[in-house]
């Protein structure tokens, strides 16, 4: 990959350990608001519901507010825990407020960024919300590694929409031939990049069996050093 000059990273589930940080955030929010539910039960039900809502959000079938409310409402309903809409909306807002306070990165994240920084221009392309993504990066001390940070909200569409990637390339003064995308989500990150002609590296941290593919797959961040 001698021609690569620009490396675009997804943030959540790729560099920033969303699952761990999210779990800790819910613990804090529930303690503050005296929500008496079994945390393991809540999270087991919530996580697949959250994934479904994010898919709907990427497809523009729900709004940001509907995502924030709906994923919580559906979870509390599923575990038969009565809670008012007012409290759900309060929790939804506090979750976003507290989330950047927890800043676990995946193993090797800082080492990889240190390794890449002198060799490439590094950028972020994220579907996450404007008000929290920059805080996450600043609080976890990785913000200064990146030349450009592109959120889907700033573009008006979400990955895998090609407009997000072309907008990012234009901002970075890059092109599809000298750029590569690194991310965890096959649909949003990998196929989104491949569909406009970029190369891609899939962060397969859960060791999911993949069919034959036209992209690189790694099981840890430091494996990327073998390719870049």
Q: Does domain 6-16+104-226 have CATH number 3.40.50.1000?
A: yes
Q: How far apart are the C-alpha atoms of 51 and 17, rounded to whole Å?
A: 15
Chain segment 58-114, per-residue pLDDT in tens: 999 999 999 999 999 999 999 999 999 999 999 999 999 999 999 999 999 999 999
Question: Do 188 and 158 meet the contact criterion of CB atoms below 8 Å apart?
Answer: yes
Domains in the chain: boundaries: 6-16+104-226, 18-101
Phi-psi category of 171—alpha, beta or left, where left has phi over 0 and alpha has psi -120 to 50? alpha
- Determine the average pLDDT of the residues in 113-126: 98
Question: Do 166 and 125 meet the contact criterion of CB atoms below 8 Å apart?
Answer: no
Using pLDDT thresholds of 50, 70 and 90, give the confidence band for residue 210.
confident
Chain segment 147-169, per-residue pLDDT in tens: 999 999 999 999 999 999 999 99
Using pLDDT thresholds of 50, 70 and 90, give the confidence band for residue 209.
confident
- Determine the average pLDDT of the residues in 184-213: 93
Q: Is 83 buried (19+), middle (13-18) or exposed (0-12) by CB count in 10 A?
A: middle
pLDDT of residue 52: 97
Proportion of the chain above pLDDT 90, given as a percent:
93
pLDDT of residue 120: 98
DSSP secondary structure string for all residues of 147-207: SEEEEHHHHTS-TTSHHHHHHHHHHHT--GGGEEEEES-IIIIIIHHHTTT-EEEEE-TT-
Using pLDDT thresholds of 50, 70 and 90, give the confidence band for residue 1.
confident
Instruction: DSSP letter for 104, please.
Output: P
Residue 129 confidence (pLDDT) above 90: no
pLDDT of residue 130: 83
162 or 213, higher pLDDT: 162
Beta pairing, strands 121-126 & 6-9 = parallel
Q: Say yes or no: do domains 6-16+104-226 and 18-101 share a fold.
A: no
Fold of 18-101: DNA polymerase; domain 1 (1.10.150)
Residue 208 confidence (pLDDT) above 90: no
Q: Which two tokens stand for residue 40?
A: 């393991």
């Amino acid at each position: 990959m001698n021609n690569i000059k620009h490396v675009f990273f997804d943030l959540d589930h790729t560099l920033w350990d969303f699952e761990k940080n999210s779990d800790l955030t819910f613990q804090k929010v529930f303690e503050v608001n005296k929500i008496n539910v079994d945390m393991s039960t809540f999270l087991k039900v919530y996580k697949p519901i959250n994934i479904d809502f994010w898919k709907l959000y990427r497809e523009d079938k729900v709004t940001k507010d509907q995502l924030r409310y709906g994923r919580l409402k559906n979870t509390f309903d599923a575990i038969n825990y009565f809670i008012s809409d007012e409290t759900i909306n309060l929790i939804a807002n506090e979750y976003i407020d507290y989330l950047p306070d927890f800043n676990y990165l995946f193993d090797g994240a800082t080492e990889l960024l240190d390794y890449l920084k002198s060799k490439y221009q590094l950028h972020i392309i994220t579907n996450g919300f404007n008000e929290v993504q920059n805080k996450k990066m600043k609080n976890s001390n990785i913000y200064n590694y990146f030349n450009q940070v592109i959120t889907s909200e700033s573009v008006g569409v979400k990955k895998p929409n090609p407009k997000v990637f072309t907008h990012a390339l234009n901002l970075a003064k890059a092109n599809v031939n000298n750029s590569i995308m690194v991310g965890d989500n096959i649909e949003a990150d990998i196929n989104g990049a491949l569909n406009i002609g970029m190369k891609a590296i899939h962060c397969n941290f859960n060791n999911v069996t993949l069919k034959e593919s036209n992209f690189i797959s790694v099981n840890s961040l430091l494996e990327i050093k073998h390719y870049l």
